[in-house]
Chain A
Amino acid sequence: MEITLGTFLALGAILFGIGAIGFLVRRNVLIQLMSIELMLNAVNVVLVAVNRYHPDNHAGQIFAFFVIAVAAAEAAVGLAIVIGLFRLKKSVSAADANLMKH
């Protein structure tokens, strides 16, 4: 059995799907943030795998690099917001983040 590009793409798709389900289903903002990280990582897997299939340059890896950087930034800001929410509501449930509701 050979490991092909398709295997990696499928793996990436499944990881993304798990992350998406987690984001949609969980009420805990912390776990939702982690789900976002999962999705970003899944995209990175696809980028790196496709880059491996076209090894003339490193565009995919560089893109993955940027995704990691942005993910780090996102985590920092996101967690700051979680802390803000916690201060306000004494809770980290997304269901409590409803001040903007009409």
Chain B
Amino acid sequence: MGTANFVLFGVCAFFALAGAVTTVAAQRPLRAAVALLVNIISLAGLYLTLSAHLLAAIQLLVYAGAVVVLFIFVIMLIGPAAEVKGKGEGLPGRTLAIAIMTMVTGTIAFSLVDAAGNWLALRSNPDFGTVEALGAELYSRALVPFEIVSITLLVAIVGAVAIARHRTEGEITEAKAVHAKAVEVREEAKAEAEAAAKATA
């Protein structure tokens, strides 16, 4: 593996990180979705340097072609409300979360950089990562999990439809009633708590 590989890795890794940071940091969801797309395409490139050709293709097809498009659909569907204006609440919690995750990630990443060996000296399997070899293994050793995944997808489809479909009139009334009841109960509880606080005071 030569310089080309190294360059490819460098470029892909940079865009992957940049895309990830942008995804997380973007205020507008559409921008985040595009950054996610960049991240996903970069990862596909990284898969190529790892001899995972089929996986790179699938990454593009499924993630870039389906998942990100789905995200964009939803963002479009929701419209301007898809953007949540930050109110700056929960700042201590956010700071704590960032601190913890940075510490954990940093420790792991810096531990890992030198930890494991270099595979370039290893013998390489010429079939490794090819569509034939991966397909053969997928349909022999991993056949049962593969079939189970297909069922998972089916369930997901049904679930998505069930959740997202339009409600009938009756269902809407019922849902609204439930919602109203929940709000009412909460108000009551709040009123009670206030009354109790007043009483103790």
| Complex contact flag A–B (Cβ < 8 Å) | yes
Minimal beta-carbon separation of B4 from chain A (angstroms) = 12
How far is B157's CA from A53's CA once the two chains are assembled, in angstroms? Answer: 36
Beta-carbon contacts under 8 Å, A26-59 to B: 26-28, 30-31, 33-35, 37-38, 41, 44-45, 48-49, 51-53, 55-58
Are A21 and B24 touching (Cβ within 8 A)?
yes
Are B13 and A48 touching (Cβ within 8 A)?
no
In the complex, per-residue mask of A60-102: 1 if CB is within 8 Å of any chain B CB, else 0: 0110111011111111110111111010101111010001000
Are B97 and A41 touching (Cβ within 8 A)?
no
Q: Which residues does chain B contribute within 8 Å of A3, judged by CB atoms? A: 1, 5-6, 9, 49
| Residue in contact with A1 in the complex, picked from B6, B97, B110, B145, CB distance below 8 Å | B6
In the complex, per-residue mask of B30-55: 1 if CB is within 8 Å of any chain A CB, else 0: 00110010011001001101111011
| Residue in contact with B58 in the complex, picked from A31, A56, A65, CB distance below 8 Å | A65
Q: Which residues does chain B contribute within 8 Å of A7, judged by CB atoms? A: 9, 113
How far is B158's CA from A85's CA once the two chains are assembled, in angstroms? Answer: 18
Q: Is the interface of B mostly helix, strand, loop or mixed?
A: helix
Beta-carbon contacts under 8 Å, B65-99 to A: 66-67, 70-71, 74-75, 77-78, 81-84, 86, 89, 94, 97-98
Q: Which residues does chain B contribute within 8 Å of A92, judged by CB atoms? A: 78, 81-82, 84
Q: Which residues does chain B contribute within 8 Å of A51, judged by CB atoms? A: 50, 52
How far is B152's CA from A11's CA once the two chains are assembled, in angstroms? Answer: 29
Q: Which residues does chain B contribute within 8 Å of A28, judged by CB atoms? A: 29, 82-84
Are A61 and B134 touching (Cβ within 8 A)?
yes
How far is B163's CA from A73's CA once the two chains are assembled, in angstroms? Answer: 13
Q: Which residues does chain A contribute within 8 Å of B98, judged by CB atoms? A: 21, 24-25
29 contacts between A and B (CB under 8 A): A1-B6, A3-B49, A4-B116, A6-B114, A6-B115, A8-B46, A11-B16, A13-B112, A14-B109, A15-B16, A18-B20, A20-B105, A28-B29, A30-B32, A31-B32, A35-B24, A41-B63, A58-B133, A58-B134, A58-B137, A66-B142, A69-B149, A73-B156, A79-B74, A80-B161, A80-B164, A83-B74, A83-B163, A86-B78
Binding site for A on B (CB under 8 A): 1, 5-6, 9, 13, 16-17, 20-21, 23-24, 26, 29, 32-33, 36, 39-40, 43, 46-47, 49-52, 54-55, 58-59, 62-63, 66-67, 70-71, 74-75, 77-78, 81-84, 86, 89, 94, 97-98, 101-102, 104-106, 108-110, 112-120, 122, 124-125, 128-129, 133-134, 137-138, 141-142, 145-146, 149, 152-153, 155-157, 159-164, 175, 179, 182
Q: A31-B29, A52-B51, A84-B163 are in contact. List 12 more A-B contacts (CB 8 A).
A: A4-B116, A4-B117, A6-B114, A13-B112, A17-B104, A38-B39, A44-B55, A52-B50, A52-B129, A55-B125, A62-B141, A70-B149
Top 5 A-B pairs ranked by shortest CB distance?
A17-B105, A22-B24, A73-B156, A24-B97, A80-B164
